Amino acid sequence: MKDTIAAFKKHLSKLGAYEHAMSKLYNDSVTVMPPKGSEVVGNAMGVLSEEEYKLATSSELRDMIETILAHKDEVDLITLREAEEKHEELCKLEKIPMDEYVQHQIDVNAASAAWHEAKATNDFELFRPHLEKMVAFNRKMAHYYAPDKPAYDTLLNEYEKGLTMETLDKFFADVRKKVVPLLNDIVARGRRIDTDFLDKEYPVDKQRILTDRLMKIMCMDPQRSCIGETEHPYTINFTKNDVRIMTHYHSDMLLSSFYSVVHEAGHATYELNIGDELTDSFLGSGVSMGVHESQSRLYENIIGRSEEFMSVVYDDLKELFPEQLKDVTREQLFLAANKVEPSLIRTEADELTYPLHIMVRYELEKQLISGTLEVKDLPKAWNEMMKEYLGVDVPSDTEGVLQDSHWSGGMFGYFPSYAIGSAYGAQMIAAMKQDFDVMEQVKSGELQPIIDWLTERIYRFGCIKKPKELVENACKAEFDPKYYTDYLSEKFTKIYQL
Ligand SMILES: [Zn+2]
């Protein structure tokens, strides 16, 4: 057994090295690489992913996993969980023919480059053939994995184990029932909130200083994390000792990068606080997209858009932007950060209309994957649904169907995790409030006790526990979207004085 475990760990470490190299290439390609570098990276990705595929599906690995799983009581928990996860992955990977798998990696790279150009030039036609390939691959992959299951359920499971259309249909029906009337009320008779001061000129170099201060407030360890810039903000982690945040600055939008940073720092906080014993294991990473988004959105919205957090950053903002924020009070800033307005762009959407943006993507993805909607008809369907749910007219595909990077990365079934994550986060904060005065803590500017509470119940476990178990562990109850819809109703009824 000792030899098997040693060989298994060596194999995993080799596999991890390929994954590490590929994610660094990816990160480079969407941050600093000049556009023409794309082709050579695509080829390198093809070679590396072929090697990775061979390692991940090798008969030696299968033998080692089977030996370990047959002697469960002789192995430690980390090794056992590694074997279980790799077994599941291997069984799935084996079902995809290698040439199709490798081709997909190359296609993703090309799709990503095409999407960047299509978005920049408002040219959906340029992206369309790439998107068709992404949809086709996802449908095929779902069929390979589970031919008898609805394809979209299989895809959802890739990002949040156990999540189904049945759960989501109910969840979104609940959101629709509570959010849409509240939104209509706000539009019809809510107080007017002034946000004009947010659109003044906010020099990017000053915004970078603000980012550094936010990273401090969020307790980000500068020895293990850093910040860069890209088109579409994200967080990428290689180990708990190398976590990177990417943001995007708009000189005429004060709060855009501000909340991107708080959001991404939420993701990063999760990664930075995973247990040390998992540092060298692939289990040393966030467990699922839903749980990950619960953290980013909890920091961004419940904490970051609170009156208490605003009082922490107010002096810094006034110091960095004295002219732009002259005469702007703390209260005005708080209200501006929570202004509700049906709009076009998901990442700029307010907290209340945000789940409606997700609902649009969810409904369209279901149709694309089931085949009831063709890619060529997607822009039209997008525009119609935005009108139906949010009441907005979409003036261009750049501000419509081309706005997000997910589909160009071949990710279908990812978006719902944003909404379900918000709901997890609301329930977690409700549970945290049973233990201490969370908002008083935020007001003090000392977020460490909040991070500690979440580390104890969620972060430290990495992928050792499953998403459902972690959420129940933190909330001491089953997942219930009621906490989320109650939180939204209470917060926005008060803000809008309804
Ligand atoms: Zn996120």
Question: What pLDDT is stored for residue 406 in this prediction?
Answer: 93
Is 46 a residue whose pLDDT tops 90?
Answer: no
Q: What is the mean pLDDT of residues 331-352?
A: 94
28: CA distance to ligand 1 center in Å? 19
Considering the chain, what is the average pLDDT of its residues?
94
The residue written with tokens 């949010």 in the block is 390
Judgement on whether residues 306 and 342 belong to the same structural domain of the protein: yes
Classify residue 159: in a domain, yes or no.
Answer: no
99: CA distance to ligand 1 center in Å? 32
Report residue 270 as tokens: 């999760």
Least confident window among 43-47, 136-140, 354-358, 364-368? 43-47
Give 276-300 as a 3 state SS string.
Answer: HHHCCCCCCCCCCHHHHHHHHHHHH
CA distance 92 to 95: 5
CA distance 26 to 305: 32
Judgement on whether residues 181 and 293 belong to the same structural domain of the protein: yes
Is 93 a residue whose pLDDT tops 90?
Answer: no
Classify residue 169: in a domain, yes or no.
Answer: yes
Confidence of residue 230 (pLDDT cuts 50, 70, 90): confident
Q: Cβ(96)–Cβ(141) under 8 Å?
A: yes
The residue written with tokens 């019809």 in the block is 188
Q: What is the mean pLDDT of residues 116-140?
A: 97
Is 226 a residue whose pLDDT tops 90?
Answer: yes
Give the chain as a 3 state SS string.
Answer: CHHHHHHHHHHHHHHHHHHHHHHHHHHHHCCCCCHHHHHHHHHHHHHHHHHHHHHHCCHHHHHHHHHHHHCHHHCCHHHHHHHHHHHHHHHHHCCCCHHHHHHHHHHHHHHHHHHHHHHHHCCHHHHHHHHHHHHHHHHHHHHHHCCCCCHHHHHHHHHCCCCCHHHHHHHHHHHHHHHHHHHHHHHHHCCCCCCHHHHCCCCHHHHHHHHHHHHHHCCCCCCCEEEEECCCCEEEEEECCEEEEEECCCCCCHHHHHHHHHHHHHHHHHHHCCCHHHCCCCCCCCCCHHHHHHHHHHHHHHHCCCHHHHHHHHHHHHHHCCCCCCCCCHHHHHHHHCCCCCCCCHHHCCCCCHHHHHHHHHHHHHHHHHCCCCHHHHHHHHHHHHHHHHCCCCCCCCCCCCCCCHHHHCCCCCCHHHHHHHHHHHHHHHHHHHHCCHHHHHHCCCCHHHHHHHHHHCHHHCCCCCHHHHHHHHHCCCCCCHHHHHHHHHHHHHHCCC
Which CATH number goes with the domain that contains 272? 1.10.1370.30
Domain limit, last residue, from 94, 126, 150: 150
Q: What range defines the domain where residue 464 resides?
A: 165-495
Confidence of residue 262 (pLDDT cuts 50, 70, 90): very high
Question: What pLDDT is stored for residue 194 in this prediction?
Answer: 92
Judgement on whether residues 71 and 218 belong to the same structural domain of the protein: no
Classify residue 160: in a domain, yes or no.
Answer: no
Judgement on whether residues 224 and 316 belong to the same structural domain of the protein: yes
189: CA distance to ligand 1 center in Å? 32
* Structural domains in the chain (count): 2
Judgement on whether residues 145 and 190 belong to the same structural domain of the protein: no
pLDDT digits (tens, 9 = 90+) for 182-207: 999 999 998 999 999 999 999 999 99
Judgement on whether residues 129 and 204 belong to the same structural domain of the protein: no
∠ Cα 356 362 366 (to 5°): 150
Active site residues: 264
338: CA distance to ligand 1 center in Å? 19
Judgement on whether residues 40 and 89 belong to the same structural domain of the protein: yes
Is 212 a residue whose pLDDT tops 90?
Answer: yes
Q: What are phi and psi of 402, to 5 degrees?
A: -95, 5
Judgement on whether residues 119 and 188 belong to the same structural domain of the protein: no
Classify residue 158: in a domain, yes or no.
Answer: no
Closest by CA to 363, choosing from 384, 393, 349, 341, is 384
Cβ burial, residue 476 (10 Å; 0-12/13-18/19+): exposed
pTM score, two decimals? 0.87
Confidence of residue 74 (pLDDT cuts 50, 70, 90): very high
Question: What pLDDT is stored for residue 385 in this prediction?
Answer: 94
Classify residue 220: in a domain, yes or no.
Answer: yes
Reading across the β-sheet that carries 225-229, which strands appear in turn? 225-229, 242-247, 234-239
497: CA distance to ligand 1 center in Å? 30
Judgement on whether residues 198 and 73 belong to the same structural domain of the protein: no
Classify residue 185: in a domain, yes or no.
Answer: yes
Report residue 261 as tokens: 């940073």
Classify residue 194: in a domain, yes or no.
Answer: yes
Question: What pLDDT is stored for residue 102 in this prediction?
Answer: 85
CA distance 258 to 207: 8
293: CA distance to ligand 1 center in Å? 5
3: CA distance to ligand 1 center in Å? 40
Say what angle helices 354-370 and 151-159 make with each other, to 10 degrees.
Answer: 130
pLDDT digits (tens, 9 = 90+) for 276-303: 999 999 999 999 999 999 999 999 999 9
Q: Cβ(452)–Cβ(432) under 8 Å?
A: no
Is 94 a residue whose pLDDT tops 90?
Answer: no
Task: Spell out which residues have Cβ within 5 A of ligand 1, the ion.
Answer: 296
Judgement on whether residues 170 and 145 belong to the same structural domain of the protein: no
Judgement on whether residues 433 and 288 belong to the same structural domain of the protein: yes
Confidence of residue 42 (pLDDT cuts 50, 70, 90): confident
5: CA distance to ligand 1 center in Å? 35
Q: Cβ(462)–Cβ(272) under 8 Å?
A: no
Cβ burial, residue 254 (10 Å; 0-12/13-18/19+): buried
pLDDT digits (tens, 9 = 90+) for 449-494: 999 999 999 999 999 998 989 999 999 998 889 999 999 999 999 9
Instruction: Say what percent of the chain tops pLDDT 90.
Output: 85
Judgement on whether residues 427 and 295 belong to the same structural domain of the protein: yes
> Higher model confidence: residue 231 or residue 419?
419
**What is each CA distance from 93 to 53, 57, 159, 471, 485, in whole angstroms?**
8, 7, 16, 28, 38
Instruction: Say what percent of the chain tops pLDDT 70.
Output: 100
Domain limit, last residue, from 127, 150, 173: 150
419: CA distance to ligand 1 center in Å? 11
Is 37 a residue whose pLDDT tops 90?
Answer: no
Question: What pLDDT is stored for residue 294 in this prediction?
Answer: 96
300: CA distance to ligand 1 center in Å? 10
Classify residue 156: in a domain, yes or no.
Answer: no
